[in-house]
Amino acid sequence: MNKLLFLLSLWLAKLISCLISILHIGQASNFPGKIALKIKKDLIKYFNINSSCKIILVTGTNGKSTTCGLLANILKVSGFNVIFNKSGANLLSGIASMFCHHSTLFGKLKYDYIVLEVDEATLPLLTSQIKPHFIAITNFFRDQLDRFGELDATVKLIEKGIDQIQDCTLILNADDYRVAFIKATSTNTRIYYGLEYHTSEDSHNKEVSWQSDPQEITTCPKCSNPLTFSSKSLAHLGNYKCNKCTLEKPLPNYLLTNIQSDHLTINFDIVSLSFTNNKNNFFLPMIGTFNLYNAACAISIAKTITNITNVQIQKGLQTYSTIFGRGEKITIHNKTAWIYLIKNPTGTTEVLRTLVKIPNARFLIAINDNFADGRDVSWLWDSRFDILSKHKKDIYVSGKRAYDMALRLKYADYDINKIKVNERIKDSVKEAVGALQEDEILYILPTYTVLLEMQRKGLCKNVDKA
């Protein structure tokens, strides 16, 4: 009976997926799975995955999509047969859609690796149905508190998800103490990655304390006393220890050092016993410390799961075409624009800090407050939009909460005459692109559902694959 219901739901999902693609009514990344789950709510359990296939889950607040994209690309260029959930479809419906899409008519999935980015709250729901071999956790920042309640609750959800499985290797960001000290039974092997950053805390936060970067509270996970930091790479990530008890940052198995970046790329070395060479130099064709963390996570996973060469890793990094909205290059009316998804204070602050350094950059910021964006827009006030206060050009503002965004810029001392509000994204993009000078590049910073809308309206159809 179970098997029959499973097959029915699978076939229905496949049919819906076909229809969506024939009728060109958007991507079939969530809807088919959503319907299939209505028929068989534990559908994912029934897929017949070949025994040699390794399942890798990536969760955490920021960087899930990019980490999965980089990892899948590294594995693909190394000749493996890999599937992963694209477009941030990281809830059960998205994962079910992807399984249905890639399986045979009888639910068989035959791959070397299945890489899944998993929403924090979805992790326990997923690990009760399939057994992953590896779980990577990127970081914990406040995000969508209207959904999760509090950050502590998010961490507990992940711990619950890990608790349901044994003999799983955890790949953890050593620089984020909440991640590094996540509770798990001792049967789980722990692999750590981290960055060696020499910028001191002070140089990052010169400003008045209350106006500084969005910070998470950093208290020792063992004794609850405040942690001290000898350096920070971004927000609360860095070298920490507790002065009261013995807790300190775990020694990373993969340490990124000699980090050097320009407008377009980041160069770095990896120090690790897993590499045979002493010096392992790589470059990442992306910008921002947040992307370096994503690369660090992806490389650590790749090295942990299979014996991969430096050349394969570099090739994977180099040929990676950025995924949906995470630094995606598009062409609109023959002009170039880049899309950077924004969704929470730290991610937004890092994107702004990175982009503001680019000469001839112009900005369009579009904020929606649908469920997937977070219905509460208070995160705009924790994001450092004051980074843009010295920007000389007009800033275009759009989305359902365009006026809240405009107000945020106004109170960041941005000249109100240079804030151009148009709630309709299509019109706003048109205006912004129309105003671009020959040598200028538009940076579009949308929240998730604005991005989906842009795609639906054909605004980012011309994805530049180059």
Structural element, H or E, at residue 114: strand 113-117
Considering only the stretches 21-29, 76-84, 249-257, 405-413, report the one whose residues sit in contact with another protein under the rule CB under 8 A. Answer: 405-413
The phi, psi pair for 78, rounded to 5°, reads: -90, 5
**Separation of alpha carbons 44 and 345, rounded Å:** 34
Whichever of 27 and 219 has its CB closer to another protein, that residue is 219
User: In this chain, which of 8, 389, 411, 461 binds another protein, going by CB under 8 A?
Assistant: 411
Residue 51 structure tokens: 């025994």
Long-range CB contacts (within 8 A, 24+) of 126-131? 126/44, 126/57, 126/92, 126/95, 126/161, 127/57, 127/161, 127/162, 127/164, 127/165, 128/164, 129/42, 129/44, 129/45, 130/44, 130/45, 130/47, 130/49, 130/55, 131/55, 131/165, 131/168
Stretch that binds another protein, among 31-39, 178-186, 334-342, 407-415 (CB under 8 A): 407-415
Per the CB < 8 A criterion, the answer to whether 331 and 338 are in contact is: no
* Alpha carbon distance 345, 141 (integer Å): 8
- Sequence-ordered list of residues with C-beta below 8 angstroms from that of 343, at least 6 positions apart, any chain: 143, 144, 373, 374, 379, 447, 448
CB of 201 to another protein, least distance (A): 13
Helix (H, G, I), strand (E, B) or coil at 361: strand
| Interface map 176-215 toward another protein (x if CB under 8 A) | --------------------------------xxxx--xx
User: Judged by CB, which is closer to another protein: 42, or 386?
Assistant: 386
Among 406, 444, 454, 459, binds another protein (CB under 8 A): 406
H or E element at residue 81: none
Residues 331-370 that bind another protein (CB under 8 A): 369
Minimum separation from the CB atom of position 283 to another protein (A) = 36
Question: Are 318 and 295 in contact, with CB atoms under 8 Å apart?
Answer: no
Output the smallest distance, CB 45 to another protein, in A: 30
* Sole window of 19-27, 35-43, 352-360, 402-410 interacting with another protein (rule: CB under 8 A): 402-410
User: Can residue 105 be called a binding residue for another protein (CB under 8 A)?
Assistant: no
For residues 152 and 167, which CB has a smaller minimum distance to another protein in the complex? 152
Between 118 and 402, name the residue whose CB sits nearer to another protein.
Answer: 402
Token pair recorded at residue 121: 């709250």
Of residues 414 through 453, those in contact with another protein by CB under 8 A are 416, 419, 421
Q: What are phi and psi of 348, to 5 degrees?
A: -65, -45
HEC secondary structure over 206-244: CCCHHHCCCCCCCECCCCCCEEEEEEEEECCEEEEEECC
> Segment near another protein (CB under 8 A), from 75-83, 91-99, 138-146, 437-445?
138-146
Interface stretch with another protein, choices 35-43, 92-100, 355-363, 396-404 (CB under 8 A): 396-404
Residue closer to another protein (CB basis): 195 or 406: 406
Contact 182, 190 (CB under 8 A): no
Q: Which is nearer to another protein, 269 or 350 (CB)?
A: 350
| Binder of another protein out of 379, 414, 443, 448 (CB under 8 A) | 379
User: What does each C-alpha distance from 243 to 91, 166, 270, 447 come to in angstroms?
Assistant: 40, 33, 29, 40
Rounded least distance, CB 313 to another protein, Å? 39
The residue within the footprint of another protein, chosen from 171, 380, 432, 451 (CB under 8 A), is: 380
Chain positions 141 to 170 lying near another protein, rule: CB under 8 A, are 142, 145-146, 149-152
According to DSSP, the β-strands at 266-271 and 281-284 are: antiparallel
220-259 footprint of another protein as x/- string (CB under 8 A): ----x-----------------------------------
413 belongs to the binding site for another protein (CB under 8 A): yes
52: which DSSP letter? T
Which alpha helices (DSSP H) does 277-401 contain, by range?
289-305, 310-318, 345-355, 379-382
**Shortest Cβ 202–another protein spacing (Å):** 15
Could you tell me the smallest distance in angstroms from the CB atom of residue 119 to another protein?
18
- Does the footprint of another protein cover residue 375 (CB under 8 A)? yes
Contact range with another protein by CB under 8 A, out of 25-33, 191-199, 240-248, 410-418: 410-418
Q: What sign has the CA pseudo-torsion 437, 445, 207, 286?
A: negative
Residues at the interface with another protein (CB under 8 A): 142, 145-146, 149-152, 208-211, 214-215, 217, 219, 224, 369, 375-382, 401, 403-404, 406-408, 410-413, 416, 419, 421
